[in-house]
Structures are given as C-alpha cells and as structure tokens.
C-alpha cells in the first residue's frame, strides 16, 4: 500500500513540475504593452463624449458659469415650474438647512430643524413641485414633527393649516417672481 502511494505521489509531483515548464516553452510570441487612450475603440456615442471632454467643454459646472448668452440658465431645462422652484428654495433655505435638493424631480427636503425656544421639538419639511405651470395645485408640502420624550424622538401631529399657509406663501412668492421676470 505504501509503495502504491509513494509511486502515485512521485508521478503527481513530476507532472506538476513538467506542466509549467512545457507551458512556458510555447512558440507563440506574446507582447504585453500599455494601452493608451488613443488605442481604445469607443462606440460612436462614447467617442463624441470623449471629444467634448478632451476640448474641456459641456460640463454642468461650465454650463452654469459660462455666460456666453444673456440668460445664465440657458441650456438647463427644468421639468418643473421654475418660479415655484425658486420660491420654495428661497423660503425654505432662509429658515432651515437643506438635506436634499433635486431639480430634476422637483423635490426639496429640509434637514431636521429645532423650533426656536423649543429644543424638545423638531420639524422636517418636504416639498414636491409636480407641475410645469404656475398653479396652486402644482406644489405639495409635507411637514413632519417630532417631540423628544424619554430620550427618543416620537412623531407628533401637525396642524394642517400650517401646511396650507406655507403652500400659499410659496405660491404667492412664485407669482411675484413670475411678474418681475416678465
């Protein structure tokens, strides 16, 4: 039994040493070289994007600050009403810090904000602009309130009149912005 095991082990060892040697003796010449950016084949859409970036153009930041035309926001098309958007941003950001702002979807979310004089209460405001027209139903405001009890924040009810009042304030400011721009 020992002899069979010894012979098998010797054969496996010999084969494992010979195989790498034989593989390295290939007649195929291979060359490893660094692929330069010019050697890479791009799809047509990728090639045009590469050309634009090579010329240093067409980035969002460059479009925002490049004032070739009279209108600084030309080229940026919002799918929401710009006056409702601007009014919402002006009103909310003047009072509380913003956690998330997405002009493409028309969503503004504030961070939690402690009410003045009440460190055990905080609110969070979410605004959704869902219209391209300046309409009263083109905006939806949600206010979340929490109260601190026993070292944990618990949800509390908010007066619906406060939500309506904030929506009206945003709509009025959007109307003023629309009138002053025309």
What is the per-residue pLDDT across 22-50, written as a single tens digit (0 to 9) for each? 666 655 555 544 444 444 444 444 445 45
Residue 6 pLDDT greater than 60, yes or no: yes
SS (H, E, C) the chain: CHHHHHHHHHHHHHHHHHHHHHHHCCCCCCCCCCCCHHHCCCCHHHHHHHHHHHCCCCCHHHHHHCCCCCCCCCCCCCCCCHHHHHHHHHHHHCCCCEEEEECCCCEEEECCEEECCEEEEEEEEEEEECCCCCCHHHEEEEEEEEEEECCEEEEECCCHHHHHHHHHHHHHHHHHHHHHHC
pLDDT band at 89 (very low <50, low <70, confident <90, very high): very high
Q: Which residues contact 121 (CB under 8 A, 6 or more apart)?
A: 114, 115, 145, 146, 147, 148, 156
One of 3.40.50, 1.10.3470, 3.30.530, 3.30.70 is the CATH number of 82-181, namely: 3.30.530
Question: What pLDDT score was predicted for residue 28?
Answer: 55
Question: What pLDDT score was predicted for residue 181?
Answer: 82
Task: Sketch the domain layout of the chain as residue ranges.
Answer: 41-76, 82-181
Residue 152 pLDDT greater than 70, yes or no: yes
Residue 112 pLDDT greater than 80, yes or no: yes
pLDDT band at 15 (very low <50, low <70, confident <90, very high): confident
Higher-scoring residue by pLDDT: 70, 145: 145
d(CA 170, CA 38): 52
Mean per-residue pLDDT of the chain? 75
d(CA 74, CA 87): 19
Residue 166 pLDDT greater than 90, yes or no: yes
Distance between start and end Cα atoms, the chain: 100
Question: What pLDDT score was predicted for residue 34?
Answer: 45
Instruction: Determine the average pLDDT of the residues in 4-8.
Output: 68
Question: What pLDDT score was predicted for residue 142?
Answer: 94
pLDDT band at 64 (very low <50, low <70, confident <90, very high): very low
Q: Which residues contact 58 (CB under 8 A, 6 or more apart)?
A: 52
Least confident of 15-24, 103-112, 118-127, 171-180: 15-24
């Amino acid at each position: 039994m020992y002899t069979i095991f010894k012979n098998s082990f010797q054969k496996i060892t010999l084969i494992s040493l010979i195989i790498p040697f034989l593989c390295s003796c290939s007649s195929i010449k291979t060359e490893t070289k660094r692929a330069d950016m010019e050697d890479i084949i791009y799809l047509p859409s990728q090639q045009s994007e590469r050309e634009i970036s090579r010329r240093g153009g067409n980035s969002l930041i460059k479009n925002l600050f490049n004032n070739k035309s009279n209108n600084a926001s030309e080229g940026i098309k919002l799918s929401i009403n710009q006056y409702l958007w601007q009014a919402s941003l002006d009103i909310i950001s003047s009072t509380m810090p913003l956690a998330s702002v997405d002009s493409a979807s028309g969503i503004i979310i504030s961070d939690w904000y402690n009410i003045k004089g009440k460190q055990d209460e905080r609110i969070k405001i979410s605004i959704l602009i869902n219209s391209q027209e300046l309409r009263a139903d083109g905006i939806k405001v949600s206010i979340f309130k929490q109260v601190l009890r026993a070292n944990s924040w618990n949800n509390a009810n908010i007066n619906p009149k406060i939500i309506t009042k904030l929506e009206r304030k945003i709509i009025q400011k959007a109307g003023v912005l629309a009138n002053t721009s025309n």
